[in-house]
Copies of this chain bind each other. A is one copy, B any other.
Amino acid sequence: MKALVYHGPGKKSWEEKPKPLIKESTDAIVKILKTTICGTDLHIMKGDVPTVTDGRIIGHEGVGVIDEAGSAVTNFKKGDHVLISCITSCGKCEYCKKAMYSHCEKGGWILGNLIDGTQAEFVRIPYADNSLYLIPANADEEALVMLSDILPTGFECGVLNGQVKPGDTIAIVGAGPIGLAVLLTAQFYSPAEIIMIDQDDNRLNVAKTFGATHTINSANENAVEKVMSITNGKGVDAAIEAVGLPATFELCAAIVDAGGHIANIGVHGKSVTLHLETLWSKNITITTRLVDTVSTPMLFKNFQSHKLDPKKLITHHFKLDDIVKAYETFENAAKEKALKVILTN
């Protein structure tokens, strides 16, 4: 089969690889129908993720069809269409029993990281019963690719951890795909005001059409001052970090109201400064999280009932064969006005 293979920093190729085989009775082999590229994949390609080694097929998102199910798989059979979760869950370790699949002792984020991933014609999915979701007939499978990672990540790490609730004023720092996924799913809880902060006017304009009530271009405006002006000097109930830089985290800490939440989503490469000399008495909560994908069934239901339109996040389409070109587009997201790309096998 063909697959996108990482060969060290800056080197990837769309090349022939052996089709994966069942290794454990709980595995399934899935033929990929549609997949996408994640910001994390770009980090991998730069060599920023040391757990990914030369020869690895990357990718951790997608929908497909069961090609073969291991003998202990009971939820799925050959021919079933399935959504692939970016997080693999064994369903029987201490962390899985606590619904913290991100830290599954045998799974977690392994696809396209510790084992071969989804940017390929076929992929082996361990613990298939707990790591795949059945897609009913007639569902829009392109839209469902957004449920592999980006929507549960935005929802769990941003919205749930930010404890967004009706009437809240929230700020989302970063209007890339993840920030926009937060924006879409935060509205499940009907906050009164949603302030979107970014440095790219195009993305801020997109945010407005997605439901942001205020936008701030922090390249041109003092974001702290503007947030304080919008909130009558109080700050926000939840500040959601969707970038991964010290400056954006510290911006969140500067705009959160007493009693508020800072929900970190960003993948950080450096430490940040936490101003406990002022924050110690502010009754704030800071959270970090690798997505657990516990919200996937809920997202599926709200997608089915038209309460969530994941396709809004999709800007470009490619054949899977053209994945190298798709990477180029995604790497130049600002110029290409790209959010998420869909690769069809």
A-to-B contact residues, CB < 8 Å: 25-26, 71-72, 74-75, 91-92, 94-100, 102-103, 129-130, 165-167, 187-190, 192-193, 213, 244, 249, 258-259, 264, 266-277, 279-290, 292, 294, 297-302, 304-305, 307
Interface pair B283/A285, CB less than 8 Å apart: no
Interface pair B258/A268, CB less than 8 Å apart: no
| CA distance in complex: A237, B163 (Å) | 21
- Of B26, B244, B259, the contact of A72 (CB 8 Å cutoff): B26
Most buried by B among A96, A97, A103, A275: A97
Beyond A270-B277, A272-B274, whether A298 also contacts B258 by CB under 8 A is no
Interface pair A103/B258, CB less than 8 Å apart: yes
Interface pair B167/A297, CB less than 8 Å apart: yes
Interface pair A92/B271, CB less than 8 Å apart: no
Q: Which residue of B lies closest to A26 (CB)?
A: B72
Interface pair A273/B273, CB less than 8 Å apart: yes
List 10 tightest A-B contacts by C-beta distance, closest first.
Answer: A167-B298, A268-B276, A281-B290, A192-B305, A167-B301, A91-B91, A188-B190, A274-B274, A192-B301, A286-B286
A166 contacts across to B, CB distance below 8 A: 188-189, 298, 302, 307
- Of B280, B283, B289, the contact of A103 (CB 8 Å cutoff): B283
| CA distance in complex: A103, B91 (Å) | 16
* Selected A-B contacts with CB under 8 Å, 10 pairs: A25-B25, A74-B92, A102-B258, A103-B283, A166-B307, A167-B302, A188-B190, A271-B277, A272-B273, A273-B274
10 new A-B contacts at CB < 8 Å, known A271-B274, A271-B276, A282-B288 = A25-B72, A72-B72, A97-B294, A98-B259, A189-B190, A193-B305, A244-B280, A267-B280, A269-B277, A286-B287
